[in-house]
Amino acid sequence: MPLLDVKDLKAGYGPVNVLDGMHLHVDQGEFVVMLGANGAGKTTTMRAISGLIPRHGSIVFEGHDIHKASADSIVRSGIAQVPQGRGTFPELSVEDNLLAGAYVRHGGDGVHDDMDKWFAVFPRLAERRAQRAGSLSGGEQQMLAIARALMSRPKLLLCDEPSLGLAPLITQELFAVLERLNRDEGLSVLLVEQNANLAMHIANRVYLLETGQIVASGSAEELGADDAIRKAYLGF
């Protein structure tokens, strides 16, 4: 049984459905990347899974259908999202951002240990622990957003275009951290990207999304081997 199984997902804004019956799944411990151009529906997919927008169809996580659940109960069930752009609380200190990330956990057990752990993974956040998140650089804010999401100890991490607006070196650094978390801690990841090159290297499986539909899926090698797909979608 997949960890996350999405079937016939329809979602959008107002009367317009951006997603019109999409299917995808993420297995336990998998690193899945979804590629697609602007407007393909990548962010809408993430927002629908997290319960931020109304959606229809079935979204089954660990055997429970969550397509009607509220955003906060979805976090409680073990899905954390790093939203596109700024997923931080700009007026709050770095430490308070992380504490807010641990909001769904009961009691204070291990919260500070986890905080130290993420400070070790992202040493630049440790140096700025008392600063307001809004004063951090774009890359630091993205690190903070990821650490904030991980503070809830999720089973599945959703990442919406973490590379957006970041220098290539910083993006590589972030992806290396995500890859390590996936490999060493068994964290399942669903990551959405426009930047095909970087993301495909770390993916177990890739989906190609076009106008609200999955048009191809497979391992990075399989998709890379298909000339038509490579030219049309991957740009290399």
DSSP letters for 106-169: SSSTTHHHHHHHHHHHSHHHHHTTTSBGGGS-HHHHHHHHHHHHHTT--SEEEEE-TTTT--HH
Instruction: Using CB under 8 A, list all residues that contact other proteins.
Output: 50-52, 70-72, 75-76, 80-81, 83, 86-92, 96, 99-101, 103-104, 132, 134-138, 141, 145, 148-149, 152, 165
| Shortest distance in whole angstroms from residue 150 CB to other proteins | 11
Q: How far apart are CA 150 and CA 146, in angstroms?
A: 6
* Closer to other proteins by Cβ: residue 40 or 159: 159
* Closer to other proteins by Cβ: residue 44 or 50: 50
Beta bridge partners of 70: none
| Shortest distance in whole angstroms from residue 118 CB to other proteins | 14
* Closer to other proteins by Cβ: residue 90 or 186: 90
* Closer to other proteins by Cβ: residue 18 or 196: 18
* Closer to other proteins by Cβ: residue 18 or 151: 151
| Shortest distance in whole angstroms from residue 236 CB to other proteins | 29
| Shortest distance in whole angstroms from residue 144 CB to other proteins | 11
| Shortest distance in whole angstroms from residue 143 CB to other proteins | 14
